[in-house]
Structure 1
């Protein structure tokens, strides 16, 4: 599970580096070029998000107990924070 998370983080960092390189390497001459570069960057981010979502679904299908434990832990955390707020 940790290696999958590391792979996802590394992939995200690589996508961010590519986007930074695109911005740094391009000289914007007019607004249309800037809009096109932003649109291309958005599409890259959207593709990466879809890829990560697919990986998350596959991970959840392989390890449903991890997902259930994570959801339970998050529920306990939020519940304890809300309960603490009401006591004061």
Structure 2
């Protein structure tokens, strides 16, 4: 869920672009360059928010395998795979 929350900032980028198109005269016609710094700052924030969930997803199996053994790691990975497939199907039906 943390990844979904961090990607939730992406619509903010769309709003920034739309606001620039409506407020900067000559931007639609290509006479003026857009303010790219605002969009880049928003991208940086979104990427920074995605670091902890990504690290958690990568480190959890490693730590589980080291401290619990192969059988526990196999069960953990199988359970993760099944739950992710179900979540993917659910999220596809939301759109």
Q: TM-score, normalised by structure 1?
A: 0.45
Q: TM-score, normalised by structure 2?
A: 0.43
Point out the structure with the larger helix share: 1
